[in-house]
Amino acid sequence: MQRTIIALLILGSGLLGASAAPAHPKHRSPAASAGVVTYNRDSKDPNVGWHWDGGMRVCHQDCDNPEIPGSGYTCRNVQAFGMPMRECDWSSD
């Protein structure tokens, strides 16, 4: 039983580490004070990120990435299980 618990803990920490992997290298986070960035500006590049097109909100490439331009997410640096990670949260405020 103890081996099963240890194996599950190792597996769980591996999954958490994988989800903390940096976003696509093309889309690096802009520098910000205290590691907090809100991606509320539309993308200047019409081929990448969120922007308005013909009165509709559209996204091209990497749309599931909360750190993509125009996503509206606020991302911050956090420590989880002793490892540095990024936490992203979206609100309609």
Q: What is the helix (H) or strand (E) element at residue 85, kind and residue range? A: strand 83-89
Q: Which two tokens stand for residue 35?
A: 């590691």
Which residues lie closer than 8 Å to 44 by C-beta, 6 or more apart? 69
pLDDT given at position 88: 92
Radius of gyration of the chain (CA): 17
48-91 tens-digit pLDDT: 999 998 899 999 998 999 999 999 999 999 998 999 999 999 87
SS3 17: helix
pTM: 0.56
Percentage of the chain lying above the pLDDT 70 cut: 63
Break the chain into its structural domains and give their ranges: 2-89
Determine phi and psi for 92, rounding to 5 degrees.
-90, 15
